[in-house]
Amino acid sequence: MEIAKNLMIILLTGILTENFVLSKFLGICPFLGVSKKLDSSIGMGAAVTFVMVCASLVTYPIYYGILVPLGIEYMNTIAFILVIAVFVQLVEMVLKKYMPPLYKSLGVYLPLITTNCAVLGVTLLNLTKDYDLLESVVNSFGAGLGFMIAMIIFSGVRSRLERCDIPKALQGAPITLMAASIVSLAFIGFGGVVDGIFGG
Amino acid sequence: MSNWKEFTKGLIKENPNMVMLLGMCPTLAITTMAANGVGMGLSTTFVLVCSNIVISLLKKVIPDTVRLPAYIVIVAGFVTFVSLMLQAFAPDIYSSLGMYLSLITVNCIILGRAEMFASKNKVIPSIMDGLGMGLGFTLTLVLVGSVREIFGSGQWFGITIMPDFMEPMTLFILPAGGFFVLGVVIAVVNRLMKKKPREIGCHNCPNAEGCPGACDKANSNGGEQ
């Protein structure tokens, strides 16, 4: 019971209170770049969630099985980014060969993910928080879902924005950032929700 | 003379984050204080200059097909170096930048300059380009950081400058304030430079070549193809 509660806290924290995009500022480029349509938001969110979960599954044994015994923990950034880059390529090839329908819906987003700071960020975060394998996976899943929810909400906001008459200097990136600011403001409202549910 | 031009273009005219809209994550994340902006900006400048040097030296050695992973490894090496140095000599900055220091690795400004400039030019222009872009990045970080620190906590570089009766607006150092201040700064720059409004997307992303226009493709196709 205690474990399940702990995992629920990690999951909900990742989705709501410490949302990766809106409070940690990771993965801003895809958040602002690919959120124009609902379909692409869902696709990108799903692809990021998938890669995040797999990346934390892969990097955990590499860190505790190779880097720690050799005493070269400081190499974690290099090791992780390499693993993520290779892994994304591999996923792309496997999907293309064996699961063409899935490749069609997620394939476009995969090249964007290699240099996505959210994926490297979540693996590094798992280390700084000392999560074990199960907690790491749950945390990555929560972070990915949080990313997807933020993307979906924001795509709705943007489809409204497109029909607005915006002052010239604010068109393009500025108004997008300001809209993101208001969405982020809404997520501040979730502060304390997780503690409230589980009694702190 | 032309080297000087490579240097100055990064400061204002092609400023990496205010004009080219790159490297948004660190610009938003660590600018709660102006001092953080200086630390982050100078670290990024160092990594950018070093990686530009190495990449322009190795541009004939690195095979074209694996150039992005090769660049990432070079950049990651310098990032590790910088974070070890900061940990040893500037532990305060190290702890306030935290995870974002490691994330310089995937900063698209660095990969972008590697792809767009260093892989096509000689060493000296690449150094100037790296310096200019890095200092332009630092400039934006300090600007956004100053606005957020002054309004959000009534201080500038840790010195209290707002009078007592002014209540600091905490909103500015919250994430929402970061998005808002950056939006306003970009709007002002657009107005002053009479630039055409820009969207964040492939046409100004230097990585677009590496990931064959994935953003635009994703936007135009949606999920169904």
Write the pLDDT tens digit of every residue in B130-176.
999 999 999 999 999 999 888 888 888 878 877 777 778 888 888 88
DSSP classification of residue B152:
H
Are the Cβ atoms of A173 and B207 closer than 8 angstroms? Answer: no
Min mean pLDDT across A82-96, B60-74, B194-208 is at: B194-208
CA atoms of A139 and A87, how far apart (whole Å): 19
CA of A190, closest CA in chain B: separation in Å? 14
CA of B140, closest CA in chain A: separation in Å? 15
Report the percentage of chain B scoring pLDDT > 70.
86
A88, exposed or middle or buried, with CB in 10 Å at 0-12, 13-18, 19+?
A: buried
Residue B1's CB is within 10 A of a number of other CB atoms, namely 4
Domain ranges of chain A: 13-189
B224 has a pLDDT exceeding 60: no
Q: Chain A residues with CB inside 8 Å of B103's CB?
A: 26, 117, 120-121, 124
Three-class SS of A109-153: HHHHHCCCHHHHHHHHHHHHCCCCHHHHHHHHHHHHHHHHHHHHH
Domain ranges of chain B: 3-192
Max CA separation in chain B (angstroms)? 62
User: Measured between CB atoms, which of B72, B186, B205 is closest to A85?
Assistant: B72
Angle at A127 between CA A124 and CA A130, to 5 degrees: 150
B214 has a pLDDT exceeding 60: no
Are the Cβ atoms of B99 and A81 closer than 8 angstroms? Answer: no
Cβ atoms of A117 and B106 closer than 8 Å: yes
Angle at A50 between CA A49 and CA A55, to 5 degrees: 100
Residue of B nearest to A78 (CA): B76
B197 has a pLDDT exceeding 70: no
Distance of CA B182 to the CA centre of its chain: 13
Structure tokens at A124: 């590094």
Residue B212 confidence class, pLDDT cut points 50, 70, 90: very low
A-contacting residues of B 134-173, CB under 8 Å? 171
- Please give the pLDDT value at position A199: 66
- Please give the pLDDT value at position B225: 30
CA atoms of B97 and B29, how far apart (whole Å): 9
Closest CA to B98 of A124, A93, A59: A124
**In this predicted complex, what is the ipTM?**
0.84
- Please give the pLDDT value at position B200: 60
- Please give the pLDDT value at position B138: 93
Q: Chain B residues with CB inside 8 Å of A174's CB?
A: 183-184, 186-187, 190, 197
User: Measured between CB atoms, which of B103, B176, B178 is closest to A117?
Assistant: B103
Closest CA to A111 of A50, A47, A31: A47
- Please give the pLDDT value at position B201: 57
More confident residue, A99 or B55: B55
Tell whether B179 is within 8 A of chain A (Cβ): yes
- Please give the pLDDT value at position B50: 94
Tell whether B88 is within 8 A of chain A (Cβ): no
User: Measured between CB atoms, which of B24, B72, B171 is closest to A28?
Assistant: B24
Residue B41 confidence class, pLDDT cut points 50, 70, 90: very high
Beta bridge mates, B160: B155
Residue type, A71: G
Q: Chain B residues with CB inside 8 Å of A81's CB?
A: 72-73, 76, 105-106
User: Measured between CB atoms, which of A75, A120, A175 is closest to B103?
Assistant: A120
CB pairs under 8 A between A and B: 182
Are the Cβ atoms of A28 and B25 closer than 8 angstroms? Answer: yes
Output the tens digit of pLDDT for each of chain A's 200 residues: 788 888 888 888 888 888 888 888 888 877 887 777 888 788 888 888 888 998 999 999 999 998 888 888 888 888 888 888 888 888 888 888 888 877 777 766 777 777 678 888 889 888 888 888 999 999 999 999 999 999 899 999 988 888 888 888 888 888 888 999 998 888 888 877 777 777 65
Residue type, B25: C
Beta bridge mates, B155: B160
Three-state SS at A166: coil
The overall average pLDDT reported for chain B is 81
Q: Chain B residues with CB inside 8 Å of A121's CB?
A: 99, 103
Are the Cβ atoms of A170 and B187 closer than 8 angstroms? Answer: yes
